[in-house]
Amino acid sequence: MTQETLLIGLAGVLASAAPVVFAVIGETLSERAGVLNLSMNGTILLAAMGGFAVAYTTDNILLGFLAGMLIGALVALVVAFASITLKQSQVAVGFVLALTCRDLSYFLGSPYMGVPGPRLQVVPIPLLSDIPVLGTLFFRQDFITYLSFLFIFLAWAWIFRTRSGLMLQGIGEKPAAAYIRGANVTLMRYVYTVIGGALIGLTGPAYSLAIRAGWMGTISGLDGIGWIALAITIFGGWNPLRGAFGAYLFAFLQWLGLVLQPVLTQVPSQVLQVAPFPLMILTLLLVNIGNAEWVERTLAAMPESTRKFFAKLLRAMRASPPAALGVPFISRSRKRVLGGLYRRICARGRKLRAVFVKY
């Protein structure tokens, strides 16, 4: 393999990871605020179909991307309403939406199956694209890939370098503490879930209008991307930089499968296509291995200095989810009202009993 093909291959890895990057960042924002958006897999498919359909009908790529984001935002709004306002299980709501949106995309998308549509073009950046190696890797991409680079750093800076980001961390970790400091927890959760949803929605057209242009229904190969993005969010420790790294690793593994296929002829091609998925799961397990009891026991038996080193390493790798993830927030005054109701009912019960005993 020449250096040039290798570079182009790697540039392709960066491009094909872009959609996953959006999904991971979107999910990270949503989960940082404490809302688990499990609908991701379906949302991506529906946004891919919808984005393609709009771009095809209007012959306007930008409208296609906006449509994808709108679909993502709307689905996220349903998740937010069900989990924040109705206080329903985020897992149940997300799961049902994931299935519904997927099937909806196959159903509504059938008129657009296999029709040739618009596709985002590669736009080399003048000057920068002429830099050896880096130019090929980073600056001969399409618009959406550039956007993915930008969003990784924007999201990271937002969460870790701004006031609002600090509050976002507070809302996901300990909403009561954020509330006491003047944050409108409910509103902020809505906002971040919807923005996160819009980013997840962007993933769809990033496939159907760029990386894998067109809509192919069930054989689009997009089913499952949402789940892996969910895993990468966790692997990334709710940090956009680590999450992006996970997305690139996943894309790299997929590319490796393609490259190795002609070499490893005795391995069925399906194995190489599917391998990235279990490999990602395996990575995830490794990262969080410190939680396992046998590891704990093995560590306890080691000499003090070795134990400390490994404990530190495991702690650094392990990421704990936002403490309030999936927990509805009820401000204290509301809780008191409910408690009062209970007491009132109990008191009534006592009174009835007293009357009953008397006669």
Partner 1 sequence: MTESNLLPSGRTRIDTLEIRGITKRFPGVLANDRVDFDVKTGEVHALLGENGAGKSTLMKILYGLYHPDEGEILLNGKPVAISSPTDAINLGIGMIHQHFMLVESLTVVENVALGLPSSRGALTDLDRVSKRIVELADIYGLKIDPSAYIWQLSVGQQQRVEIIKALYRGAALLILDEPTAVLTPQEVDELFAIMRQMVRDGHALIFISHKLHEVVEISNRVTVLRDGRKIGTRPTSETTKQILANWMVGREVGFAPDRGDVEFGEVRLQLENVACGSDRGTPGLRGVSLEVRAGEILGIAGVSGNGQRELAEIVTGLRRIVSGNVRLDGQDVTNFPPGELTERMLSYIPEERMRDGVIREFSVAENLILREHHKQPFSRSAFLNLREISAHANRLIERFQVKTPSQDTLAKNLSGGNIQKVVLAREISRNPRVIVAAQPTRGLDIGATEYVRDQLLEQRKRGAAILLISEDLDEILALSDRIAVIYEGQIMDIVPRADATPEKLGLLMAGVHPEEGAHVVK
User: Which spans of this chain sit near partner 1 (rule: CB under 8 A)?
Assistant: 161-167, 169-170, 173-174, 176-178, 180-183, 290-291, 293, 296-297, 300, 311, 314-315, 320, 323, 332-333, 336-337, 339-347, 349-350, 353
If the CB atoms of residues 130 and 296 are measured against partner 1, the closer one turns out to be: 296
The least CB distance from residue 310 to partner 1, in Å, is 10
Alpha-carbon distance values, 272 to 19, 260, 265 (Å): 21, 8, 11
Which one, 128 or 187, has the nearer CB to partner 1?
Answer: 187
SS3 359: coil
Q: How far is the CB of 300 from partner 1 (least distance, A)?
A: 5
Closest to partner 1 by CB, 121 or 333: 333
Select 59 or 318, whichever has its Cβ closest to partner 1: 318
Cβ 128 to partner 1, closest distance in Å? 27
Tokens 């600056």 belong to 139
| Distance of alpha carbon 175 from alpha carbon 338, whole angstroms | 19
Lookup: tokens for 253: 């593994």
Q: CB of residue 216 vs partner 1: minimum separation in angstroms?
A: 43
Minimum Å gap between C-beta 242 and partner 1 is 15
List, in order, residues 6 or more apart from 272 with CB less than 8 Å away. 257, 258, 260, 261, 264
Measure CA 124 to chain center: 29
Question: Structure tokens of 197?
Answer: 């949803």
Residue 33 and residue 88 in contact, taking contact as beta carbons nearer than 8 Å? no
Q: Between residues 3 and 333, which has the closer beta carbon with respect to partner 1? A: 333
Q: What is the DSSP string of 298-350?
A: HHHHS-HHHHHHHHHHHHHH--PPPTTTTPPP--HHHHHHHHHHHHHHHHHHH
> Considering beta carbons, is residue 69 or 167 the nearer one to partner 1?
167
Q: Which value, in Å, is the radius of gyration of the alpha carbons in the chain?
A: 24
Q: How far is the CB of 318 from partner 1 (least distance, A)?
A: 8
